[in-house]
Amino acid sequence: MSNDARTSAEDPYLALQSTPEFQELRRRFRGFVFPMTAFFLAWYFLYVLLSIFAPGFMGQRVGGTITVGLLFGLGQFVTTFAITLLYSRWATRQLDPAADALGARLDGVREH
């Protein structure tokens, strides 16, 4: 028996990781998280780069006392909360049922 086969047989966590259901769960998670992370980082670096290279634009007043830079900065917070809300709702629908099923399967294996 190879080390991989023995380890999978001895460790239910490793065995579960190799199942198609777990791989699908992982694929779905990465399918949301990686693009959203890339979007947020691009948005953040746009803010930083504009602050460095376009101070005149970022310093323009909007509505009297508010500047474009302040709006962009506040937009960072709004974006963070929006992404968190989107992820929470998405995970509740897409990830949690599958993760719960895998967890129940693992609990059944550990009880025997």
Q: Give 28-61 pLDDT, tens digit per residue.
A: 999 999 999 999 999 999 999 999 999 999 999 9
9 found inside a domain: no
**Does the predicted TM-score (pTM) go above 0.75?**
yes
2 falls within a domain: no
CA-CA distance, 32 to 107, in Å (whole number)?
Answer: 27
Residue 14 domain-assigned?
no
Question: Number of structural domains, the chain?
Answer: 1
Is the confidence at residue 110, as pLDDT, over 60? no
Range of the domain at 34: 20-111
Residue 47 and residue 52: Cα distance in Å, rounded?
Answer: 9
Q: What's the Cα-to-Cα distance from 57 to each of 44, 74, 88, 100, rounded to whole Å? A: 16, 16, 35, 49
Mean of the per-residue pLDDT values of the chain:
90
Task: Report the distance separating Cα 79 and Cα 43, nearest Å.
Answer: 9
Start-to-end CA span in the chain (Å): 22
Asked whether residue 4 is assigned to any structural domain, the reply reads no
- DSSP lists the bridge partners of residue 66 as 62
The answer to whether position 28 is within a domain reads: yes
Cα–Cα distance measured from residue 21 to residue 18, given in angstroms and rounded to the nearest whole number: 9
Q: CB of 15 within 8 A of CB of 8?
A: yes
Whether residue 83 lies inside any domain: the answer is yes
